Amino acid sequence: MISSLIRVNSRQCLGLLLAVSFCFIPACANWPSKKSDDVKKLQQTLEKRDDNMAKLQLQLLERDAQIKQLEERLNSQQEMLDEAIQEVVRAKAKLRSLESKAEAASEMAEAEIAVKALKAQLAGQTRNPELIKAQELLKMSAQEFKKENYGGAVYLTNQAKGHIRAGQIQLTSREKAAPIKRLPPIEGEVFFSLPLPLQVLRTSNLRDQPDLESKVITTLEKGTPLIGYSYKDKWLRVMSEDGSYGWVFQTLVGGR
């Protein structure tokens, strides 16, 4: 009797174990698949985060370049203001300046040549603020010259020269981007508002197009200075100091 009960209980336990096992088998079978999906999702999240960080870094570099240009412009304006104050102080101290007619005429002629050269360089951009101000000051200078106020004429001419220099500085910064901007833009390419000073973070290939299958133009060593002009997706269009230009992967360069 007892042995029969033991056999019945054993069969029941075995059946229960088999039932439980069958329940766990599908769960175990799905475990590697679920783990693989989680890993893929994590990788996608990390890649998206890296892309966002790289874009933010580019935006920061562009903003830094804008701030630097603004600081340079403000410094230039401050220097011009200081020169003007010094000129006025000297004029007031002398009351009647000692500048000669010949000196005033020479300064005015020099400024006229400079303003014509700036106008030619601007290639029809007649509404340039620095050019307009320089021309106004030179007209005022000519009026003072007719009044035989040669000191006033020289003072106004010097102010005009300051604006001419400011216009030339603007042209120089634009010309830095000229070699790249003459190239036909690629679909989806976005130009920075200002050229960005960059450097190579680790040895990189400079490519003809923004993809890994395109021709390698040259190899850029770590620390190589570059100028960045535009971007498309994860690629930057850059130019090196020796005049080589092409595309480099954005994570391989940084600010300098």
Question: Could you tell me the domains of the chain?
Answer: 56-175 (no CATH), 179-255 (2.30.30.40)
Core vs surface per residue 136-159: b (16+ CB within 10 A) or e: ebbebbeebbeeebbbbbbbbbbb
Contact 170, 38 (CB under 8 A): no
pTM over 0.85: no
Which residue type occupies 142?
Answer: A
pLDDT of res. 179: 57
- List the one residue out of 72, 94, 76, 96 whose CA is nearest residue 84: 76
- Tokens found for residue 215: 């021709």
Contact 153, 138 (CB under 8 A): no
- Extract long-range pairs of 94-101: CB within 8 Å, 24+ residues apart: 94/151, 96/151, 97/149, 97/150, 97/151, 97/152, 97/154, 98/151, 99/150, 99/151, 99/153, 99/154, 100/150, 101/148, 101/150
pLDDT of res. 192: 78
CA 203 to chain centre: 22
pLDDT of res. 8: 41
- Tokens found for residue 108: 């005015």
pLDDT of res. 10: 47
pLDDT of res. 1: 45
pLDDT per residue as tens, the chain (256 positions):
434 433 444 455 445 444 544 454 454 445 556 667 777 777 777 777 777 777 777 777 777 777 777 777 776 666 776 566 456 535 643 555 555 788 889 999 999 999 998 888 776 666 788 888 899 889 988 888 888 888 878 888 888 898 888 887 777 656 555 555 566 778 888 877 777 888 898 898 999 999 888 999 999 898 888 888 888 888 998 888 777 889 998 888 887 7
